[in-house]
Chain A
Amino acid sequence: MIHLSNVEKVYRTDRIETVALSNINVRVEQGEFISIMGPSGSGKSTLLNVIGLLDVPTGGEVTLNGRLITSYGDRSLARVRNEEIGFIFQTFHLINDLSVVDNVEIPLLYRKMSGAERRKRALKALEQVGLSARVHHFPSQLSGGQQQRVAIARAIVGGPRILLADEPTGNLDSQMGDEVMSILKALNSLEQTTVVMVTHDQRQAEKTARIVRLFDGRQVN
């Protein structure tokens, strides 16, 4: 599905050069459940962004379904992000001026679909994450765990083939973390959704089939 070979990412600010990733080779295949582990600052989020097509590496190649992503135009890249990828951000990134259900509907706005259909799917996704009682609340009226679940609902509402989650349990207590994990596991086993998850929780990581370990931007095994 998504293959990274010799990927390198260097951030250049005025004088400082940060090598966030170097020589990364990862193959993400359909139906896999992968976790990315490593200490803070080791490049986990950067790697996830590259896999999720939210960022382009400064070196190496990324292919999606056998095609280099640099060959995709803006429209087709947007379509892939919209239809094939669901992204759960570490800091949720909910729009505070929109209600829970309106936030969840956003990915569907960029598809040809009736308003009623959008609403139906958004409510279903919220039900999946157990938030049916909060659909008309605003993000600021929710707890961190509830916000995390809104973010998950938004990531799954479009039925993506691959779900990318950046520390989805990091802000949650262990019980709620387990709940989120079981949602992800269910999606993976029941709907063959590929899941790539960043975590620094060894216990959660062990529940996944494969662990990619990073240290200082490099892969370690």
Chain B
Amino acid sequence: MMRHIWKLVWNRKRANALIVIEILASFLVLYAVTLVGVYFAHNYRQPLGFSYDRVWLVEIDWQRESIELQPELEEEKEAAMMRQLLTAVKEFPEVESAAAMSVVPYSNSTYSSGFTWKGRQVEFMFNRGTTDTAQVLDMHLTAGRWFTEADAAGSSFRPVVINRRLARELFGTENPLGQVVKEEQDKVERRVIGVLEDFRKDGEFSGLQSYMFEHATLGKSKGGQPNNFVLRVRPGVTAAFEEKLTGKLRSMAPTWGFEVKPIEQMRESTLLWQLIPLTIFGVIVGFLLIMVSLGLLGVLWQNVTQRTKEIGLRRALGATAGEVYAQIVSELLVVSTFGLSLGILAVIQFPLLKVVDFISPTVYFTSLVISLGIVYGLTVLCGLYPGWLATRVQPSEALHYE
């Protein structure tokens, strides 16, 4: 029977070429769509690395003069004020814990850095946090520790905390703790003291990135002061606290600007902005998918209905309904396997050539399996339904079909 099917497929190569092309095209569209979907779903399922529950943000604007005569003096004064402010914030009974940091979760700012490591360029996102930042944001460390006050007392090296991805990138399977990271221009070496599960500043849908934290001391520092506080309030604290907090801070530093808001609120607007293009993309893709599957359905459908006569003949010559189904479905499977093989050859180039390197092989592979499944499923359905229709009519009627 298989030989018979091969002969039919081969002898009908012209008609089948059309199906192969249609299947190839559908598969490519489907694959691209699945890839995007799986990519975001995969990101979504990765740990965020922090929690935003009851976390509030204080954005501080130092209102610096445009021309600073003595920038260092200015910075020192700023740092002193920042320390005072942070202490004041911590004294509120509503506040569980508070810390300062440069780039807060769900903010628009990014701070990226990079250096040459063992002959290749390593890129990562960069951030600074004080001793309590990890506690406020409930950041999970998988190894080592977060910064302590002892780190602040000017040691011979600069301690850094990196995420797992960066640890893997820099040290592979070696234990990253205690390893030295050195930039060419650095006089002081950086040493890894802790590994974070992750810190996905841009939230659930964002891509996975390498990350490095440095200790911010709110004192004399080389890299600039963090200008944000993050604080975790006690359960039940209402929005009224916003006013109270702002009032206190204003009274202490009247020339500075303060903006207080829950991170939850920033999260919502960030996700909204990420979801709007995704939704638009989704709608367009939905239409595209409908078009593609209708096209595929049409081609396959026509192929089977054109053969109503043949189905009638085979029934008249003694094929059972099951045998007719099996034959039609097998033929379609053979033809679609041709188209899909071409498709796999095409899409396998992406991971092989590393065209888009932020997408992981797992994501590529999962999308491949899903889109293969959908095309095969659609093919089988298309074969089954007209086959079922054709076997429902009497052979004599099917033979009359024009």
Contact = CB atoms under 8 A, between A and B. Distances in A.
Contacts of B294: none
A124 interface: no
B315 interface: yes
Contacts of B164: none
Contacts of A142: none
A54 B398 CA distance: 10
B1 A109 contact: yes
User: Which A-B residue pairs are the 10 nearest by beta carbons?
Assistant: A82-B318, A55-B396, A97-B11, A49-B396, A54-B396, A78-B320, A54-B395, A81-B318, A107-B317, A110-B318
B12 A102 contact: no
Nearest to B395: A54
B4 interface: yes
B323 A110 contact: yes
A33 interface: no
Interface string A54-93: 1110000000000000000011001101110001010001
B313 interface: yes
Interface of A: 46, 49, 52, 54-56, 74-75, 78-79, 81-83, 87, 89, 93, 95, 97-98, 102, 105-107, 109-110, 115, 154, 158
Contacts of B12: 97
Contacts of B396: 46, 49, 54-55
Contact of B316 (A74, A87, A97, A98): A87
Contacts of B394: 54-56
B322 to A, nearest CB: 8
Contacts of B399: 54, 89, 93
Contact of B320 (A52, A75, A105): A75
Contacts of A52: 316
Nearest to B320: A78
B7 A154 contact: no
A138 B396 CA distance: 24
A72 to B, nearest CB: 12
Contacts of A74: 320-321
Given A74-B321, A97-B8, A102-B4, 11 more contacts: A55-B395, A56-B394, A78-B315, A78-B319, A78-B323, A81-B315, A82-B318, A83-B318, A98-B8, A106-B314, A109-B1
Contact of B3 (A49, A79, A115): A115
Interface of B: 1, 3-4, 7-8, 11-12, 309-310, 313-321, 323, 394-397, 399
Nearest to B307: A95
Contact of A81 (B4, B309, B316, B321): B316
Nearest to A46: B396
B12 to A, nearest CB: 5
Nearest to B327: A109
Contact of A93 (B3, B8, B11, B309): B309
A43 to B, nearest CB: 13
A89 B316 CA distance: 10
B1 to A, nearest CB: 6
B280 to A, nearest CB: 47
A106 B311 CA distance: 12
Contacts of B3: 115
A33 to B, nearest CB: 22
B317 A154 contact: yes
Contact of B317 (A46, A49, A55, A81): A81
Nearest to A160: B318
Contact of B318 (A46, A79, A89, A115): A79
A106 B314 CA distance: 8
Residue of B309, B315, B316, B395 contacting most chain A CB atoms (<10 Å): B316
A89 B400 CA distance: 11
Residue of B1, B12, B318 contacting most chain A CB atoms (<10 Å): B318
A189 B399 CA distance: 31
A109 B8 CA distance: 14
Contacts of B318: 78-79, 81-83, 107, 110, 158
B314 to A, nearest CB: 7
14 contacts: A46-B396, A49-B396, A54-B395, A54-B396, A55-B394, A55-B396, A56-B394, A81-B315, A81-B316, A93-B313, A93-B399, A106-B314, A110-B319, A158-B318
A98 B11 contact: yes
B323 to A, nearest CB: 6
B3 to A, nearest CB: 6
A154 B314 CA distance: 12
A105 B11 CA distance: 16
Nearest to B1: A109
B8 A82 contact: no
B316 to A, nearest CB: 5
Given A54-B396, A55-B395, A93-B399, A110 B317 contact: yes
Given A102-B4, A102-B7, A95 B321 contact: no
Nearest to B9: A97
B8 A110 contact: no
Nearest to B399: A93
Nearest to B11: A97
A88 to B, nearest CB: 11
Contacts of B7: 98, 102
A74 B392 CA distance: 11
A82 B321 contact: no
